[in-house]
Amino acid sequence: MIIERFTKLVKFNTQSDEDSPTFPSTKSQLEFGNFLALQLKEIGMADIGIDRYGYVTAYLPSNIDYHVPVIGFLAHMDTSPSFSGENVCPQIIGSYDCGDINLPAGNTISVTSFPFLNNYKGQTIITSSGGTLLGADDKAGVCEIIEAMDYLIKHPEIKHGKIAVAFVPDEEVGRGVDYFDVKKFGADFAYTLDGSVIGELETESFNAATAKINIKGNSVHPGSAKNIMVNSALLANEIISSLPKEETPAHTEGYEGFFHLGSINGDVEQTNLSIYIRDHSRTKFEQKKQLLTGIVEKIDGGRGIISLQLTDSYYNMGEIINTEENRHIVELAEKAYESCGVVPIKKPIRGGTDGSRLSFMGLPCPNIFTGGHNFHGPYEFVVVESMQKAIDVIIKICGLNILKSN
């Protein structure tokens, strides 16, 4: 049923759009949300709703006669706008025998580039055709939550408290929980299903900000440009060149932060830059913002031709989750992993999840693996056996929650 459900979900094109003024940013996400609401109704969930913002919520009532904390599970509906999500054609490779995976579009998921492929010998791998992304980020998480709820409904002998489920739009463009009503959702704590390799249990994320830089030049004929022309593209290059050369995504790992040039578009007269600032340390994060601000001010030189708009996107959820007050949330997940034969891999997310913001909104929210790899591109794939383990972990968390609270 996992494969059947997942391959049906990924055929919906739910790419979000950073430039859209609407919420959700694409109509297809609303259509997908309505489909998910029907899926939840079919398996027997209660109080199913989809609001005007596209948030899908549903609940599994408690089957015990005493109170325990309400646990939430969340996943996002959208896929990345960085690569096509239209006409996804999933390919199922059963009993993977190691070696390169040749995709119908002509490209290859190679062991040389992705040596961890060989960890999945004998398992079932799902890829796209190679002409699109797959959409495991985060439809694997969506699938796993539905499958776990379906199992609990069909096995009432597994005792659990009330469980809250939510599917949210626009996570990939940083707006996923802009209108999410934490109080109405009603969970005491939650977990996002938005991780990658089996075993990941993430309690730390980046601090993140976006810098939008607009540079106004002065275009005149180059033959008579002396002391008159201001080339905005060259000023943009000067800003980029002034940033630390080793602090880019291609040069950093672990807890190391970076500046990422997301886009540049312009000419002599006008150039626009988007630069993403990331760091796990709040202090270093603020220092990076100050550094960029200083660079822009210096290059502008008081002329007023360069404008900088800095917007914080989210903060390191570890500031909330890794506290004495919330330690039990992580410990509960760790026990569930171990009970399912999964070794917890605790490492910082080199990115963010909806949980990064939800944690600061009053809903502590660590991140659980989904079994997907190589997100946001044509080499994306997911391992079915890892998906099953994620489902097992969800079920076990719900069961252990009542034991812990008894």
Which residues in the chain are classed under CATH 3.30.70.360?
214-313
Q: Could you list the mean pLDDT of each consecutive 10-residue stretch along the chain, which spans 406 residues?
A: 96 94 96 98 98 97 95 98 94 95 95 94 97 97 98 97 98 94 98 97 96 97 94 97 96 96 96 97 98 98 97 95 96 97 94 94 97 96 98 97 63
First to last CA, the chain: 34
Q: What is the spatial distance between Cα 56 and Cα 50, in angstroms, rounded to a whole number?
A: 4
18 part of the active site: no
pTM above 0.85, yes or no: yes
Q: What is the CATH number of domain 214-313?
A: 3.30.70.360
The residue behind tokens 């390919």 is 91
User: Tokens representing 163?
Assistant: 């469980």
What pLDDT does 239 receive? Answer: 98
Cα angle: 351, vertex 352, 355; to 5 degrees: 160
Of 144, 171, 204, 247, catalytic: 171
DSSP letter assigned to residue 218? B
Which residues in the chain are classed under CATH 3.40.630.10?
2-205+316-405
**Judging by beta carbons within 10 Å of its beta carbon (0-12, 13-18, 19+), is residue 328 exposed, middle or buried?**
middle
What pLDDT does 1 receive? Answer: 87
97 part of the active site: no
Task: Answer positive or negative: Cα dihedral of 279, 250, 173, 348.
Answer: negative
Give the residues across from 309 on adjacent strands.
212
How would CATH label the architecture of 2-205+316-405?
A: 3-Layer(aba) Sandwich (3.40)
Instruction: Write out pLDDT tens, residues 361-402.
Output: 999 999 999 999 999 999 999 999 999 999 999 999 999 998
Task: Answer positive or negative: Cα dihedral of 344, 349, 352, 356.
Answer: positive
Amino acid at 45: M
Residues in contact with 110: Cβ distance below 8 Å, sequence separation at least 6, in sequence order = 100
- Is 147 in a helix, a strand, or coil? helix
Can you list the pairs that 103-106 forms with residues at least 24 positions away whose Cβ atoms lie under 8 Å?
Answer: 103/127, 103/128, 103/129, 103/130, 103/378, 104/129, 104/130, 104/131, 105/129, 105/130, 105/131, 105/378, 106/130
Of 78, 172, 204, 380, catalytic: 78
Cα angle: 272, vertex 276, 280; to 5 degrees: 165
Instruction: Write out pLDDT tens, residues 325-366.
Output: 999 999 999 999 999 999 999 989 998 899 999 999 999 999
What pLDDT does 18 receive? Answer: 87
Q: What is the spatial distance between Cα 179 and Cα 126, in angstroms, rounded to a whole number?
A: 33
Q: Give the distance, in angstroms, between the CA of residue 390 and the centroid of all CA atoms in the same chain.
A: 16
Q: φ and ψ at 375, to 5 degrees? A: -60, 155
Nearest to 245 by CA among 258, 232, 235: 258
- CB 184, CB 47: distance < 8 Å: no
